[in-house]
């Protein structure tokens, strides 16, 4: 039994309950302060850095405590550095008025850099569909360059391939789901943004990605004109018609105009008529609240009038 225990290599508790960035901080790699102006963002970085409330809170924390977890960068041939992990910390440091950020400098190949960049950002709690889609695609391509088999033909149901299996085991999404996410990278930016904003659901977004680019722009025009988004069933029909060479703007408009099951009719208001009766002091961001309060006031007036009768 003692001999067996010696051969077993059990993971440390720290390895089980810490992130890669925290382990990097605790190892022997040298941490150095680098000017923010000397660090370039990662090319085609798929994860968005937005000046939202969370980033502003990070900035305030950095003002108070500094950057606790160092960024990870790699040296460039021109003497500058490329950010691998820490884009949000870099931006928050800029907002905090700092000139430098603590960094670990590591020599990485292009493929190693991509894999490290994706892995570090997948630790985030909230990841947009577009971020996950491009991150999966970039990592699988990097794994392919390193000699692992992969398939980016993007069939919704495809063969089990080694790199897909490895990535699936790492991220928790099935191989089929990974391929479906990668399909989103074939959407035009405007439609992909609607998927991120949950205006178009994930499954319809996957089906739409099979449409030709000009068909996607026609669909976008129809969505905006009709003020509606397609259901999953409607996008399946569009995909089939596209493959048969029978999809055009008229057909898309016809499909979108069909009533969906359990669809709640939308209220359509004449914007110019609404604006004509609004006080000029009401801004665009106040219109909805003003209209709702006006309706509530009028409803109360009608109820009071009925009681007095």
- The answer to whether the beta carbons of residues 85 and 71 sit under 8 Å apart is yes
Q: How many residues does the chain have?
A: 309
* For residues 129-140, average pLDDT: 93
* Most distant CA atoms of the chain, gap in Å: 95
* For residues 133-157, average pLDDT: 69
Statement: residue 99 has pLDDT above 50: yes
Confidence band for 22, pLDDT divided at 50, 70 and 90: low
Statement: residue 19 has pLDDT above 60: no
Q: What does the pLDDT read at residue 266?
A: 55
**pTM to 2 decimal places:** 0.67
Domains and CATH numbers, the chain: 21-108 (3.90.1530.30), 198-262 (no CATH)
Statement: residue 122 has pLDDT above 90: no
* For residues 140-166, average pLDDT: 59
In the Cβ-directed half-sphere of 27, how many Cα atoms lie within 13 Å?
Answer: 12
* For residues 235-249, average pLDDT: 95
Q: Give the 3-state secondary structure of residue 292.
A: helix
Average pLDDT in the chain:
82
- The residues, ordered by sequence, that sit 6+ positions from 211 with a Cβ below 8 Å of its Cβ are 219, 238, 239, 242, 247
Q: What does the pLDDT read at residue 137?
A: 93
Pick the range with the lowest mean pLDDT from 79-83, 98-102, 231-235, 267-271: 267-271
């Amino acid at each position: 039994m003692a001999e067996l225990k010696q051969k077993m290599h059990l993971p440390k508790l720290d390895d089980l309950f810490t992130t890669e960035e925290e382990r990097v901080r605790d190892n022997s790699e040298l941490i150095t302060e680098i000017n923010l102006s000397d660090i370039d963002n990662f090319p085609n970085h798929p994860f968005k850095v937005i000046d939202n409330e969370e980033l502003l809170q990070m900035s305030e924390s950095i003002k108070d405590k500094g950057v606790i977890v160092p960024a990870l960068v790699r040296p460039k041939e021109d003497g500058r550095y490329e950010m691998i992990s820490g884009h949000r910390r870099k931006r928050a440091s800029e907002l905090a008025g700092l000139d430098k950020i603590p960094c670990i400098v590591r020599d990485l190949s292009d493929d190693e850099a991509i894999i490290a960049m994706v892995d570090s950002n997948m630790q985030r709690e909230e990841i947009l569909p577009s971020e996950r889609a491009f991150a999966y695609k970039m990592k699988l391509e990097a794994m392919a360059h390193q000699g692992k088999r992969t398939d980016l033909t993007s069939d919704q149901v495809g063969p089990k391939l080694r790199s897909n299996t490895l990535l699936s085991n790492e991220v928790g999404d099935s191989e089929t789901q990974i391929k479906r996410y990668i399909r989103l990278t074939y959407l035009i930016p405007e439609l992909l943004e609607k998927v991120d904003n949950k205006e178009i659901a994930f499954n319809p977004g996957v089906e739409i990605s099979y449409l030709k680019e000009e068909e996607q722009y026609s669909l976008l025009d129809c969505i905006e004109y009709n003020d509606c988004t397609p259901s999953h069933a409607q996008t399946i029909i569009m995909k089939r018609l596209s493959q048969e060479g029978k999809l055009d703007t008229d057909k898309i408009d016809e499909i979108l105009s069909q009533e969906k099951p359990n669809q709640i009719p939308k209220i359509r208001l004449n914007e110019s008529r609404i604006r004509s009766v609004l006080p000029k002091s009401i801004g665009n961001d106040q219109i909805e609240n003003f209209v709702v309060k006006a309706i509530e006031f009028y409803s109360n007036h009608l109820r009071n009038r009925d009681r007095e009768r």
